Each structure stands twice: as C-alpha cells, then as structure tokens.
Homo-oligomer: A and B are copies of this chain.
Amino acid sequence: MTIFRQRRELMRELGFGSKSYQNAVRFFNKDGTVNVKRTGLGFWENVDIYHWLIAVPRWKLFSFIIVGYITVNFLFAGLYFCIGPENFGGIDQSGAFNQFINLFFFSSQTITTLGYGHVYPKSNAAGVATAIESLLGLLSFAITTGVLFGRFSRPKADLLYSKNILIAPYQEITGLMFRVTNKKQYELIESEVSVAMTMKNPETNTRDFLNLNLEISKINYLALCWTIVHPIDESSPLYQLSLKDLEERDMEILILIKAINDTISQSVYSRFSYKAGDFVMDAKFKPLPQEATRNGKLKVAVNEIHLFDLLKKV
C-alpha cells in the first residue's frame, strides 16, 4: 500500500533503523539531542576535545583553566626544585618550602611571559626549563584564545518553546500546535522548521520514526512568535489517537529549527522535544500580549508563550 511504503521511507529518512525499540528509554532528550551512548570505541576516538571545550558549561571550562594553571605551575616548580633552587638568582633561600613557593611564583611569571626578573635562571638547565615553559605558556595561551573565541562565536539559536503541545480544532480539522519565540536581542531570519515523531508500533513492537507535515514550514522572520501547526488529517500518523494511546506508545516529538542569525550571518540550529506527557487536548494558546512602549517600540511579553486556554467540550 502506498501509505505504508511512504511511512517506511519517512522512517528511514530519519536515520534510525526500525529495530531500535527499547522500553523505558527516552529517545530524545528535552533539548532534542539523541539519548545515545556510543560504546566500543577508544576515548579519543569518541571524544573530540575541541567540541567538548566549546560545548561545556562556562564554570567547568574556567575551573579546568584554573586547575590546569595551578597544576602546570606546580609541576614546573617541582622541576625547578629538582634542578636546584641555587640555579635561580633572586630566590629566598631560607628553607625548602620557601624555595618551592618562590619557584612556584617564578613559574607563574614564566608561563604567562610576565617575567619580572627579580627571580631569574642562572644555570643552563634552568635556562632550558624556562625556555620550554615560556613556549608552553604561549602555546597554551594560543589554544585558550582559540577555545574562547570558538565558544562565544559559536553560531547558536536561543529559542523558547511553549511548555506544552496542544491538540485542538483548527480551521475545519484538528491541529497539533506549539509555539516558539526568540529569546535574544539579535534577529533570526529565514527560519525553517521540521517536526518528526517517534512511537512504538504496537503490531511490530518496533519504534517507528515519521516526519509530520506542517501547515507552514518556512518563514522570513522570527520576529514575535511562531505558532507551528501540524494538521491532524487522515494522512497524519496521529489521526484518531487519544492521549492514552500516545502515552502507551511512548510518543516523542522532535523539533529541528534552522535559521540565519542576522548579526553573524550564519546558520543556526535549535532542537527541542516533547513527550506524551506534554500534550494537552482541546486547548488554544492565548494571544501574546503586545503593547507600545513609551519610546515607540512594540513590547512583547515572551514569557507568556506557555499560556493557553482550555476549550469547553461541545
């Protein structure tokens, strides 16, 4: 049958096999990333250190830098201590501990290329070690510059999705609706959305992956708020399914939005996912309140994107 073939094709187009059903495993995380752990590869084969560094939370990166800075200085202080504190001019020679501390500070002045010079290398071994440390400092600093630039220049979209996804009468039929808005001050243009769905197939006990048709899938601006609508007509895989069906079949919705970030002229991507529990039946989103500010701007309360009204059953 045509419908069946089409579904199979759609399923394949999502890049998952059909045998992937695992009870109690959410397929997509809330942020739309795939909830998969790859095994059977070495650490370095699996992890790309640059991608880790630019995606890791800020506090982790700075902790990493500070701990690294202390550790490297500690190691070089140790090396200088092994070379012998007497090879360094200007050092407080009163006791090993003091010497070590002095060498620790000397190391920090070397790796940052600060080089006050009140402490300085006297012997050849000390000269070689400081020449190495200062080069290492420059290279680390070059890498840090690159990572920090990579982080904040990284193209990203910061979108706010409505907490719930609603099913309600829409024009003559029924529609599946959610809303999305841009949280940031920069503008997004040429936005495109694609919505996919996964649910357990009760007949085959496999997980099916399907694309959902959308009323409008591309807009020129993401200026105020965009309501994305999937019409639940006969060709929709959601046709005549109840909330209970969705629960039982472990329904997950995955959203992928692509747009152009106007400030940096680059493509950005945003993903999000809804689970069966996020569905609300017979509800309509409240219009987003808009008013003029005193200096002639249109004020939009984006945090009210989540609000909806339950419709009275007829």
Question: Which A positions have Cβ atoms within 8 angstroms of B?
Answer: 9, 12-17, 19-20, 22-27, 33-41, 45-52, 54-55, 65-66, 69, 73, 89, 101-102, 104-105, 108-110, 112-118, 120-121, 124, 127-128, 130-131, 134-135, 137-139, 141-150, 152-156, 158, 181-187, 189, 191, 194, 196, 211, 215-216, 218-227, 256, 260, 262-269, 271, 287-288, 290-293, 296-304
Question: A158 → chain B, closest Cβ, in Å?
Answer: 7
Alpha-carbon separation in the docked complex, A107 to B253 (Å): 55
How many copies of the shown chain assemble into the complex? 4
Give 10 nearest A-B pairs by CB, closest first.
A40-B303, A146-B149, A15-B219, A116-B117, A105-B127, A117-B117, A50-B152, A108-B131, A142-B145, A118-B120
Is there contact, CB below 8 Å, between B291 and A48?
no
Question: A295 → chain B, closest Cβ, in Å?
Answer: 9
Given contact pairs A15-B220, A221-B34, A184 touches B46 in the complex (Cβ within 8 A): yes
Contact of A35 among B104, B131, B297 (CB under 8 A): B297
Is there contact, CB below 8 Å, between B221 and A14?
yes
